Structure 1
Amino acid sequence: MEKSASASNGVVKAVPASWNFEPNETLLGLTALSVRGVLGRIKAGMVEADGGGRPVVPMGHGDPSAFPCFRTAAEAVDAVTGALQSGEYNSYATCVGLEPARRSIAQYLSRDLPYTLSPDDIYLTSGCAQAIEIICSVLARPGANILVPRPGYLFYEARAVFNGMEARYFDLLPEKGWEVDIDCVQALADKNTVAMVIVNPGNPCGNVYTYEHLAKVADTARKLGIFVIADEVYAHLTFGERKFVPMGVFGAVAPVFTLGSISKKWVVPGWRLGWIVTNDPNGVFQMTKVVGSIKSYLDISSDPPTFVQGAIPNLLENTKEEFFQKTIKIIKESADICWEQLKGINAITCPSKPEGSMFVMVKLDVSCLSDIKDDMDFCCRLAKEELVVVLPGCAVGYKDWLRITFAIDPSSLEDGLHRLKSFCLRYKKPTK
């Protein structure tokens, strides 16, 4: 042991020659798989004071709640206020969630299914992010792999890697409305594949899958002996010709874990209330003891706020359809603006018009631009020079693409797209 004197008070303290602890090396590389981490790097170089009084246009993160036009329903606020003021929800909840909340969610989701869910099919989580964390944790075993879409939400890979699993990427096909490449799924799967992930409506692509395509996905999963993780956090946020079809419709073909939350439809991501649903009329999850593993995980995990759980029955029952229609109307208007204005921006190509969620993927041709290295460089410069924040495709596994969030105030969106166009013109290569 070495000894050193404290400079502040002269007290001599024993200092070990070395410390026995060190960080988890796996965690140190996971920030690159985080949307928050990537956006943090982009915003770091942005100096608002140099923007000539212009506001920042946030077209990178899927959280429209800051805009007054996306304020949540009064009925939702009343439900939470009433639950909090009642004094009945200040205690710990059960690990799976309050039974009245689970029962109301089961009834709510059963409307779209050919069978009826029970409260025992519902597990409440702190948002959809924790639902992903739980599923990846209960699947983890040495050598296991999970199939995830590209482009896609890299949080699945981050949680899989953290739990010692391998993430294998199958392609989504832009020329086919971002459908799953079924042949790619079959080629990737092996005896250690446990599940495949689909996101519908799509983040980051804005696609909505048809009944027929989802049937093919279910049939493929059945043939491979795996289950489907259906990320449906944007359920029913559709505004094109295709209507939302839940993957749980095919639960009798292949078992499905459906992940969802109130975050997007009610525009309250900060309330942190999500769920895992077992769409499994054949009881496969019970037979394989996967549900037991979920309950065990929840026993050693944190819960969503009890008062928000207590508000769920009233929130689901009392929120008027007019609120949802208003939200969809604004998102559709913004999606239309985005689709039309992107057509006139050099170096950017949009392969398909978004029909759901809050995003669209566009291809970036850096060869048309001077002094721009890649999508990350593009986004950093755009933020610094124009105060417009968009997400580089590398953050969703698609280099030299961009994910644009259009769920912001339509006037702000038009302003942001105008600045994006000006930026691309400024860096446009001269015509020879």
Structure 2
Amino acid sequence: MLDNKLKEQNNLTIIEDKPEVWKVEPSTTAKNCRNFIRDIVDNLDLKPNPEKPVIALSLGDPTIYGNLTPSEETIQAIVSILEEGSCNGYAPSVGYENARAAVAEYLSHDGVNINTKDVILCSGCSSSLEHCITVLADGVKNHNILIPRPGFPIYRTLAEAIGVSVRYYNLIPENNWEADLHHLESQIDQNTTAIVLNNPSNPCGSVFSEDHLRNILEIAYRYKIPIIADEIYERLVFSGEKFVSTASLNSGVPILICGGLAKRFLVPGWRLGWIVVYDEIGAFENIRNALICLSQRTIGSNTLIQGALPSILQNTPQSFHDELINTLSKHAQLAYEGLQNAKGLSPFMPQGTMYMIVEIQMQKFPLFHSGLEFAQKMMEEESVFCLPGDCFAISGFMRIVLTIPEELLQEACVRIAEFCNRHYVN
């Protein structure tokens, strides 16, 4: 009897007519999430010259051409941990303690003492930045954060996805792309909850001096605004320059430092980033706990890379880092000299990182109404593509990468110069 009753209740009416087509709307966060580089590049009609092989000076992946590879020690660390089989399961959401301790030791230099408890491991530096922006800024409260112009567009992507607005502070080209301190201060209001500081800089290749960093931190201290320090290119600076971490300056400003293996160790696809909570005054007590909660959304980063991390950080020889810097410095000099021969271009010699930014004197190229048209036409005629400055919120510039093989970089500079000399109007 009971079975029959259940059967009657479970009978469904079959509708023969075709139902209406559904349209499921994405969430506000998804609709707000934009890749600003892709927005620009995808709208360019990029058709290379079929008679010339394409040279891409646009990709920030240093491994793309295969000329720059991780150290043998880095590779062996992964092989060993894979064969050992001890890191195939879940790790604590903030990372294995020994991996966090290794990061703390690696970053404890120049008078800075980082503790294991200060370190949270993330899935790449972009994940570190996402956690930091999310923990400090709230779209519901109309918060804003300050970001550099020119600057890497991921900051804007991550902020606007959660309803947080961004305000740009200008970097000054003729001052080695230092921050315009007066402009930075003018952007601050009662809803500003963080200043993003990228040093060394992408796309500028600039390295801030200790005095300049102190000036920025003094503004942050005065207005009680935390710093998000994007230091993914830490120590990747050329001869005669010095990387100064914000943590070494004893500023009294609470700082969230973002970094990772991607650039200095040439393994961007391994997705190992970190956050260091550097807080001399105890302002981040609640922020620490909130960051742990945020890390629990993904249950931590790749455990194989975490397992190998102590060996990678401790055993990679300094000679590997020196060789990488020497290569990038040599390429920077080559590109700088090559592009000085191009009419209407003003290259800025970088002080570090993997990039060079170049000003386009647009008034000398009347055929083109924007840097976007300039980039599109250069691809069409010379099969060379550089990211327009519009990708970094500054028009009339372009960024080139310095990681490609030397012979390709030389060829690219020759083609760029030929293109400029062809279209330059005095």
Structure 1-normalised TM-score? 0.90
- Structure 2 unmatched runs, 5+: 1-14
Structure 1 counterpart of 2:142: 143
* Number of the residue aligned with 2:198: 199
Q: Tell me the distance in 2 between the aligned counterparts of 1:251 and 1:14.
A: 69
Q: Which residue of 2 aligns with 1:14?
A: 18
**TM superposition shift of 1:427:** 2.1
CA distance, structure 1, for counterparts of residue 306 and residue 147 of structure 2: 30
Q: Which amino acid is 1:89 matched to?
A: C
**Taking structure 1 as reference, are residues 163 and 155 closer, same or farther at Cα in structure 2, changes over 3 Å only?**
same
Inter-partner Cα distance in structure 1 for 2:247 and 2:231: 10
Instruction: Name structure 1 gaps, 5 residues minimum.
Output: 1-10
1:152/1:204 contact within 8 Å kept: yes
Could you tell me how far 1:13 is from its partner in structure 2?
5.7
Deviations 1:276-296 (A, max 9, x none): 11111322211xx11111111
* Corresponding position of 2:73: 75
Q: What's the CA shift for 1:233?
A: 0.5
Change (3 A) 1:160 1:424: same
1:384 paired with 2:380, answer: yes
Mapped contact 2:124–2:262 kept (Cα < 8 A): yes
* Identical-residue share of aligned pairs (%): 31
Match of 2:411 among 412, 415, 418: 415
Aligned residue for 1:291, secondary structure, equals helix
Structure 1 residues 389-398 or 400-409, which shifts more?
400-409
Paired position in structure 1 for 2:337: 340
- Is residue 230–residue 256 contact of structure 1 (8 Å, CA) maintained in 2? yes
Structure 2 CA distance, aligned partners of 1:84 and 1:329? 32
Q: Is the 8 A contact 1:39 1:60 kept in 2?
A: no
> Which residue type is aligned with residue 67 of structure 2?
C
Q: Distance in 1 between matches of 2:125 and 2:38?
A: 15
**Distance across 1 between alignment mates of 2:381 and 2:92:** 50
Moved more, 204-213 or 249-258: 249-258
Contact in 1 for aligned 2:137/2:194 (Cα 8 Å): no
In the TM superposition, what are the counterparts of 1:170-209 in structure 2 within 5 Å?
170-209=169-208
Residue 36 of structure 1 deviates from its aligned partner by: 4.5
How far apart in 1 are the matches of 2:154 and 2:21? 38
Q: Which has the larger radius of gyration?
A: 2
1:9-408 correspondence runs (5 A) = 12=16, 14-16=18-20, 19=23, 21-24=24-27, 27-28=30-31, 30-31=33-34, 33=36, 35-42=37-44, 45-47=46-48, 50-52=49-51, 54-112=52-110, 114-141=111-138, 142-286=141-285, 289-301=286-298, 303-350=300-347, 352-408=348-404
Two-structure CA RMSD over aligned residues (Å)? 1.9
Distance 1:197 1:390 in 2: 25
Amino acid at match of 1:97: G
Aligned residue pair count: 410
How far did 1:372 drift?
1.4
Deviation of the 1:140 alpha carbon? 2.7
Q: Secondary structure at the match of 2:275?
A: strand
Contact kept, 8 Å, 1:209 with 1:242, in 2: the verdict is no
Query: 1:315, 1:26 → 2: CA distance?
Result: 36
